[in-house]
Structure 1
Amino acid sequence: MIEVGKIGLVFNPYGGKMGEIPSDATPFPHRKGNIFKMQYSVTWKDPSPGATENFLNEVKMLYSYMTPFVSKNPRSTYLNYRDLDIGVNDFGKNSFEEGQVYGSKYFNDNFDRLVNIKTEVDPQNFFRNEQSIPVRPSKA
């Protein structure tokens, strides 16, 4: 962190009661076996042309450095710390596959169950954003 600059790294502890709730009891799967959640951040006031790229690259360097120390297959992430770098959905013909990329990271094994619910409740996918749960492709 010293090498890359003004990067923040927050550890939110998990465990206790959270670990007693099964990972499939709610959409939020990050429970038993997770020691903590990490949040990467950077703040800057520099309006110069290269500042944004520089600071974002520093965060990406730290994120990459942490790879051996975090969850794998998939590298999980927390939905409320939205990260468009892990995938977005354009809601075209590959909508489900695009959603699977980020959805499996946010929801782990709960993703398929959430897709089934979304497909049942909102088959036209009216309620959506660039990282929302997709619907299953129709079997037409």
Structure 2
Amino acid sequence: MLNRTNNLLGAEFKAKSDYVRRAVGEAGWASIYGQWLAPSAATAGLIMILEPHGGKVGTWTADDSTPYPHRQGVQFNIQYGVSWPRSTDSSGALGWIHGFEAFLAQFVTSNPSEAFANYRDLDLGQNVVGADSVTTYESGRVWGERYFMGNFQKLAAVKARVDPTDYFRNEQSIPPLRYPSVKNVWS
């Protein structure tokens, strides 16, 4: 799981994701498109996906009853990515996507900003394996609370029950929460 390569037809790809909880407005969209279509972006392959939320989806279940907490109050999820030929320098493409992420901060969730777990983004943080060969809970919290919000602690408690030695892990797998107070997260 930790040794894999990208086989995307000779290209590299970097994606980010955010959630939007308030209306962006016409002027906001104009500025987003202006940034998206800026000359510096024209040299890279770009993709933006807007996934609508809200409506009935926001009423199906409480945010803490499933691992996915981004239901109530979310208007949409946004994923944006950049690709570049493997044989070229990545600094321009990565600089662009990090700049676009900083620009979008005014429109997306904050404190903490939310991200979609299936659009894994190692910029949010990576697990640190301790001396006992088990991922530390604190290192996982850095990125995990952005993906799972208040549900991260519960997921880590489940991981402690089903995989206490952290055998199944990758750079952002949920670490086991191994404390005597694990039962308290279920109340």
> 1:9: how far off?
2.4
Letter in 1 for 2:91: E
Match of 2:85, SS state, is coil
> 1:136: how far off?
2.0
Match of 1:39, SS state, is strand
Unaligned runs of 5+ in 1: none
Distance 2:114 2:125 in 1: 13
Q: Deviations over 1:70-93 (max 9, x none)?
A: 111211100010000000013115
Letter in 2 for 1:84: L
Return the TM-score normalized by structure 1.
0.88
Which one has the bigger strand percentage? 2
Q: Deviations over 1:74-114 (max 9, x none)?
A: 11100010000000013115711110001000100101111
Letter in 2 for 1:37: N
Question: Percent identity among equivalent residues?
Answer: 38
Bigger RCO (CA 8 Å, 6+ sep): 2
Cα 1:13–1:114 shift into 2, 3 Å: same
Q: Deviations over 1:41-69 (max 9, x none)?
A: 11233733x2x121111011100111121
Indicate which of 60, 67, 70 corresponds to 2:108.
Answer: 70
Unaligned runs of 5+ in 2: 1-35, 181-187
Indicate which of 10, 13, 19 corresponds to 2:49.
Answer: 10
Alignment of 1:99-110 (within 5 A): 99-110=140-151
Rg larger for: 2
Distance 1:92 1:123 in 2: 13
Verify the 8 A CA contact 2:157 2:178 in the aligned structure 1: no
Cα 1:46–1:138 shift into 2, 3 Å: closer
Return the TM-score normalized by structure 2.
0.67
Verify the 8 A CA contact 2:153 2:177 in the aligned structure 1: no
Distance 1:57 1:80 in 2: 23
Distance 1:53 1:90 in 2: 26
Distance 1:83 1:15 in 2: 24
Question: Is structure 2 residue 102 aligned with structure 1 residue 61?
Answer: no
Alignment partner, residue 112 of structure 1: 153
Question: Is structure 2 residue 57 aligned with structure 1 residue 22?
Answer: no
Aligned length: 137
Match of 1:99, SS state, is helix
